[in-house]
Amino acid sequence: MTSQIEIKNVTFQYPGAEHPVLNNINLSIEKGDFIAILGGNGSGKSTMCKLLNGLIPHYYVGDMSGEVTVNGYKTTDYKVADLSKHVGYVYQDFENQIVSPRVLEDASFAPLHYGLPDFHERGLQALKLVGLEEQKDAFIWQLSGGQKHLLALASVLSLNPDIIIIDEPVAQLDPHHAKDIYDILTELNEVHDKTIIVIEHHTEFVASYAKKVVLMDQGTIHFSLPVTEALNQVDTLLAHQIYPPQVTQVARETGMDGKLPVTLEEGLTHFSTAEPKESTYISSREQKQAIVSYEDVDFAYKTITREKKQVLHEIDCTIHEGDYIALVGNNGAGKSSFMRLMTGLVKAATGEVTVDGENTRDVPPEYLAEKVTYIHQNPEQMFIEDCVEKDVAFFMKSRKVKDYQTKVDKLLKQFELTELADRDSRLLSGGQQRRASLAIGVGMNPEIMLLDEPTANLDIATRKHITKLLDDLKRQLKAVVIATHDMQLASEFANRIIVMHEGRIIHDGDRVSVFQNYRLLEKAGLMPPQVFSLTKSLGWEEPAYTVQEFIERYQREEVDNGVYA
């Protein structure tokens, strides 16, 4: 069987760059494969994918040597237009990839512009494949983030390419929508025999869906292996700042020999069902002084069609000093609106939101900013100056804080930004941007910090760094609210979890009361951490929530039976 994609000795250097991004790469991919590309930020993953549809070298004129063949076409000899019929590419910032105002128009844009008479049918067919046919006449700005992503996928499917590349498909999605998109990719792979290539940080998805893993490191291919084998190389993965699935991690940490499990199902047969040690977790919440209170709050905004859309219904909630809250729920459950009400940027339709005894309706956001800081999901939206240092200083400067320069320097140091101080924040990497946005937030010296998806879009090493920073912040702040899909973060960080669903608070408890409540998880579309599901299936009465906890509490049957005693 000849390979569908053949990359031979390719080296590529962007014009003006000091080092090549790709360094003598060799890779062959068979038709019908499902490949996950792993690698830290900046390891050359996206650049390699751009080789395949000819954007390199036709669009990016850098120094390229070596040869790429796709479906028998040498990419240097054919145009992007020809190659696009074989390779479809869905970008990480897929929203910029959508060029027409209506859904069906965008889906049929490519076939229309390549002069295919059945462009309309092709567009419809593609929409059907991703499950968007009902929205075909909608305007793109009426779609949710997840739907836009599906549309971007449909738009490349309409040319019926054999190969589909998708860059971080689930970065901004809740677990259920994430699963949906992977199920669609699997169908394309199995039923329609497409080759799928994903760039992915979430190894738990990789384990369940991909067939093969390619690990990249600083412009080279470290290995290309079948998925189980690849994820079993725990040391290598960790060295490249990639975390294997939790199941694999705990199997390894508890000293399992031989082949390690990579999915939950595999995990179940590997671990003993012996009773674990007792949990030492105690919920450490004591009621202190209330800082924020919501009383019977409704919130609505006007949509494009001039209709009011109600996003929050009858919210009653009090946030106390010492609360570290994880706000969880599906995309569109109202988490962001809930937080933005505290900033004063938006006002409640009915009901009262009070911060420190002050009704948010009566004061401007500038005033509340001294107490409440809101960190955007997309850090870029917080950058209003032309370098990191000025951005951090902006708040203090406008309030004429004495000696602000020393404080700024200290913050830059705390968030490891000193070297980047005069770079434009927009041009930093994802992890650096996230740190910069946190530095800006802490610089405002707030009582409460609100964070919208602080760990989305990060590779795991950066994620770990950010979680550590967040943990340190607990000491500097009276309360923290994090809106997140990241249940690992929720169970490690929070002492209180609020579950939202369709604009209502449907549960207010902690990790025990949330994850133990099967119906609640189902209704709110939550997926507990893998290690929790594992211990639950193993029959632990008090399941473990984190890898660390599992390792501490897990005991092998032998020990119990006294074999080693």
Partner 1 sequence: MEYTRKFADKLSVEQVKIELLNTAYGNGDTFLAKLDPRTLFIWYLFFGIIPWFIHDVRVLIGMCLFMMVTTYMAKISPLIIFILCLGLLGQGGYLLVVSLFFGGNWTTMLPLLVLTVKLSTISLASISVFCSMNPDKLSDGLLKIKVPGQVSFSIAYGYRMLPTLIEEYHHVFQSFRLRGKTPEKHGFLYIRSIAYFVKIAMLSFYPLLLSTAKSARTTVEALETKGSMYGFNHPEVKKLKLASLKMKRQDYLFLLGSAIYVIALFILL
Contacts to partner 1 by CB under 8 A: 53, 55, 59, 80-81, 84, 88-89, 91, 93, 95-102, 105, 109-110, 112-115, 117, 119, 139-141, 155-156, 301-306, 343, 345, 364-367, 369, 373-374, 376, 380-386, 394-395, 398-399, 424, 426-427, 440, 444
Neighbour count for residue 152 (Cβ, 10 Å): 25
Q: Which is nearer to partner 1, 124 or 521 (CB)?
A: 124
Helix-strand-coil percent breakdown of the chain, rounded to 5?
A: 40, 20, 40
Which of 489, 430, 365 lies closest to 199 in space, CA to CA? 430
Q: Which is nearer to partner 1, 8 or 399 (CB)?
A: 399
Q: Which is nearer to partner 1, 107 or 538 (CB)?
A: 107
Residue 250 to residue 276: CA distance in whole angstroms: 14
Measured from the CB of residue 132, what is the shortest distance to partner 1 in angstroms?
17
Residue 230 to residue 107: CA distance in whole angstroms: 36
The DSSP secondary-structure symbol of 102 reads B
Measured from the CB of residue 143, what is the shortest distance to partner 1 in angstroms?
12
Measured from the CB of residue 119, what is the shortest distance to partner 1 in angstroms?
7
Task: Compute the Cα dihedral for 23, 26, 32, 33 and give only its sign.
Answer: negative
Q: Which is nearer to partner 1, 99 or 239 (CB)?
A: 99
Measured from the CB of residue 399, what is the shortest distance to partner 1 in angstroms?
5
Q: Which is nearer to partner 1, 171 or 487 (CB)?
A: 171
Cα 214 from chain centre: 20
Neighbour count for residue 226 (Cβ, 10 Å): 12
Residue 87 to residue 76: CA distance in whole angstroms: 15
Measured from the CB of residue 63, what is the shortest distance to partner 1 in angstroms?
20
Q: Give the number of residues written for the chain.
A: 565
Residue 123 to residue 215: CA distance in whole angstroms: 34
**Single-letter code of the amino acid located at 232:** N
**Alpha helical stretches, state H, 53-172:** 80-83, 103-107, 109-113, 119-130, 145-157
Q: Which is nearer to partner 1, 85 or 212 (CB)?
A: 85
Q: Which is nearer to partner 1, 63 or 93 (CB)?
A: 93
Q: Which is nearer to partner 1, 91 or 223 (CB)?
A: 91
Measured from the CB of residue 438, what is the shortest distance to partner 1 in angstroms?
14
Which of 474, 492, 526, 421 lies closest to 179 in space, CA to CA? 526
Measured from the CB of residue 1, what is the shortest distance to partner 1 in angstroms?
28
Q: Which is nearer to partner 1, 93 or 560 (CB)?
A: 93
- 66-88 burial, b at 16+ Cβ within 10 Å, e below that, comes to bebbbbebebeebeeeebbbbbb
**3-state SS string for 272-290:** CCCCCCCCCCCCCCCCCCE
Q: Which residues pair with 210 in a beta bridge?
A: none
Measured from the CB of residue 479, what is the shortest distance to partner 1 in angstroms?
18
Measured from the CB of residue 342, what is the shortest distance to partner 1 in angstroms?
11
Measured from the CB of residue 547, what is the shortest distance to partner 1 in angstroms?
36
Q: Which is nearer to partner 1, 109 or 281 (CB)?
A: 109
Bond before 57 cis per omega within 30 degrees: yes
Concatenated DSSP letters of 436-478: HHHHHHHHT--SEEEEESTTTT--HHHHHHHHHHHHHHHHH-S
Q: How far is CA 58 from CA 8, 12, 28, 83, 428, in A?
A: 18, 12, 21, 11, 26
Q: Which is nearer to partner 1, 73 or 109 (CB)?
A: 109
Residues 25, 218 contacting (CB under 8 angstroms): no
Q: Which is nearer to partner 1, 311 or 524 (CB)?
A: 311
> Residue 466 has which token pair?
């950010």
Measured from the CB of residue 171, what is the shortest distance to partner 1 in angstroms?
15
Q: Which is nearer to partner 1, 304 or 565 (CB)?
A: 304
Residues 139, 102 contacting (CB under 8 angstroms): yes
Measured from the CB of residue 450, what is the shortest distance to partner 1 in angstroms?
11
Q: Which residues pair with 293 in a beta bridge?
A: 318, 354
Measured from the CB of residue 437, what is the shortest distance to partner 1 in angstroms?
10
**Alpha helical stretches, state H, 145-302:** 145-157, 175-190, 203-209, 227-232, 234-239, 246-253, 264-270
Measured from the CB of residue 502, what is the shortest distance to partner 1 in angstroms?
22
Q: How far is CA 544 from CA 266, 328, 421, 559, in A?
A: 18, 19, 41, 19
Q: Which is nearer to partner 1, 380 or 416 (CB)?
A: 380
Classify 374 as helix, strand or coil: strand
Measured from the CB of residue 402, what is the shortest distance to partner 1 in angstroms?
15
Secondary element (H or E) of residue 479: strand 479-483
Q: Which is nearer to partner 1, 155 or 330 (CB)?
A: 155
